[in-house]
Amino acid sequence: MKGYVSIGLLGLGTVGTGVVKLIQHHQEQLVHQVGCPVSIEKILVKNLEKEREVEIDQSLLTDDPYDVVLNPNIDIVVEVMGGIDETRQYLLEALKAKKHIVTANKDLIALHGSELQSTAVENQCDLFYEASVAGGVPIIRGLTDGLSSDRIQKLMGIVNGTTNFILTKMDKDGLSYEKALSDAQELGFAEADPTADVEGLDAARKMAILARLAFSMNIELDDVEVSGISQISKEDLKYGSTLGYTMKLIGYAHQENERAEVSVQPTFLPNGHPLATVNDEYNAVYVYGEAVGETMFYGPGAGSLPTATSVVSDIVAVVKNMRLNVTGQSHLSPQFPKQLKNQNEKIAKYFIRLHVLDEVGAFAELTRLFSANAISFEKILQLPLDEKGLAEIVIVTHRATMQDYENVVQEIKNLSVVKEIKSFYRVEGDGAK
């Protein structure tokens, strides 16, 4: 091995620029940590002429990706360009050329993480992607290092800052979904087309990555059930609050008897739950492991500086592994076959809000129907509605299977006294279940 480590960057946007700055400004500290200098060899950019926010020798820039991907002097390829198909191709070629990879690309890892991982292992290369899930929250290292001797039973995450910002505004300031979204857009917390965030897809990608690591099972993006926040009303939040709950978009991963479920869905948390106070654009991941019990990681979740910091700590980890001669072993291949729970194995409490004809016997009919499907009530709220002849009924159930819920919802729809099912949200219970 030569006396220093060379980095090639794919991309020089805000994160890439942050990485270059951190490496330039902390060279001495890096040498202390890893025992040798780290230098930047080549950087792929779209436009060679563009002015840069950081001082870079012009000769380091290239617009040919293969100057990085197949450069014989480069040890570590740092991918901060984004994109999926082309980027996947570059990284596969880099791995085959025995280059280690650090990437911040969540979409790529969610879709092609397994393929990239196995290619990395075949070539004894490291593939690290701490920055892909929640920049500034060291959750991936937490799952792979610290807790590696523990069996993880449950993982819950607030992993999308945009939706958490919107829900916080709706909850604290009483804004409508539409107003909260437009505020988020004005402040730069939501994109002009917010679909991927508000419909839960961004969170689903992160949950696929986290569940794969937590359960050591080849969970794919398609295995994650997704629903977003665009249907949530102020009324839902108000009734939830009355009953002692806070609404969050929760990524939920649970395993029991080596069978897993992974979802992203609006969820009512008891106000005292550690995730209930994670507000605004912040992210947090809560992990329940058999040995260590509950742990939680909380942080900014995004932002170019936290993300660049995560990328640099991945680079440090790769350099250490190179010098220790243990690359390609940090993330082991999935140890367990993928087995997903069926609807009878998924168990939860639900918040159900209904509009019902305000007549004698309506509530009794409803009760009988739930009871016949083995679902009992933990909390009930009944209020008259302004609309004449209708009542609002809010129910929080005890734990029951998804199969039972599906049956009951079907039967409710056939019930003449029920005018409409207004909402149906998962309710987080207490403890590890």
Question: Is residue 206 flagged as an active site residue?
Answer: yes
Nearest CB to its own copies, comparing residues 114 and 279: 279
Contacts 24+ apart (CB under 8 A), 63-71: 65/10, 65/90, 67/8, 67/42, 68/8, 68/9, 68/10, 68/42, 68/43, 68/44, 68/94, 69/8, 69/10, 69/93, 69/94, 69/97, 69/99, 70/94, 70/97, 71/8, 71/41, 71/42
How far apart, in whole angstroms, are the C-alpha atoms of residue 283 and residue 297?
8
Given the residues 169, 206, 248, 341, the one annotated as active site: 206
How far apart, in whole angstroms, are the C-alpha atoms of residue 77 and residue 308?
14
- Interaction mask 139-158, its own copies, x per CB under 8 A: ---x--xx-xxx--------
328 marked as binding residue: no
C-alpha count within 13 angstroms, C-beta hemisphere, residue 146 = 13
- Interaction mask 252-281, its own copies, x per CB under 8 A: -------------------xxxx-xxxx--
With a CB cutoff of 8 Å and minimum separation 6, the contacts of 139 are 130, 133, 157, 210, 285, 297
Work out how close the CB of 348 gets to its own copies at its nearest, in angstroms, rounded to a whole number: 21
> Could you tell me which of 432, 381, 380, 427 has the C-alpha nearest to residue 268?
427
How far apart, in whole angstroms, are the C-alpha atoms of residue 107 and residue 233?
29
Nearest CB to its own copies, comparing residues 218 and 295: 295
361 marked as binding residue: no
Residue 244 interacting with its own copies (CB under 8 A): no
Coil, helix or strand for 382?
A: strand
C-alpha separations of 119 from 30, 94, 218, 407 in Å: 28, 10, 15, 44
Query: Quick one: CA torsion of 67, 68, 69, 72, rounded to 10 degrees?
Result: 80
Residue 83's identity, in one-letter code, is G
Residue in 16, 65, 138, 251 binding its own copies, rule: CB under 8 A: 138
With a CB cutoff of 8 Å and minimum separation 6, the contacts of 254 are 153, 154, 155, 260, 261
- Tell me, by CB under 8 A, how many residues bind its own copies: 53
10 marked as binding residue: yes
Residue 343 interacting with its own copies (CB under 8 A): no
Work out how close the CB of 309 gets to its own copies at its nearest, in angstroms, rounded to a whole number: 6
Nearest CB to its own copies, comparing residues 23 and 418: 23
Segment near its own copies (CB under 8 A); pick from 28-36, 69-77, 104-112, 401-409: 28-36
Work out how close the CB of 285 gets to its own copies at its nearest, in angstroms, rounded to a whole number: 10
Nearest CB to its own copies, comparing residues 35 and 389: 35
106 marked as binding residue: yes
C-alpha count within 13 angstroms, C-beta hemisphere, residue 376 = 2
Residue 303 interacting with its own copies (CB under 8 A): yes
Asked whether 62 and 32 are in contact (CB, 8 A), the reply is no
Residue 26 interacting with its own copies (CB under 8 A): yes
Work out how close the CB of 5 gets to its own copies at its nearest, in angstroms, rounded to a whole number: 12
Q: Which of residues 156-175 bind its own copies (CB under 8 A)?
A: 172
Work out how close the CB of 296 gets to its own copies at its nearest, in angstroms, rounded to a whole number: 4
How far apart, in whole angstroms, are the C-alpha atoms of residue 304 and residue 300?
10
Asked whether 256 and 250 are in contact (CB, 8 A), the reply is no
Nearest CB to its own copies, comparing residues 35 and 384: 35
Residue 297 interacting with its own copies (CB under 8 A): yes
Work out how close the CB of 258 gets to its own copies at its nearest, in angstroms, rounded to a whole number: 20
Work out how close the CB of 369 gets to its own copies at its nearest, in angstroms, rounded to a whole number: 35
14 marked as binding residue: yes
Nearest CB to its own copies, comparing residues 187 and 383: 187
* Binding site listing: 10-17, 106, 191
* Binding site listing for L-homoserine: 191
Footprint on this chain of its own copies (rule: CB under 8 A)? 22, 25-26, 29, 32-35, 136-138, 142, 145-146, 148-150, 172, 271-274, 276-279, 282, 284, 286, 291-300, 303, 305-306, 309, 312-313, 320, 323-326, 329-330, 332
Residues annotated as catalytic (active site), given as ranges = 206
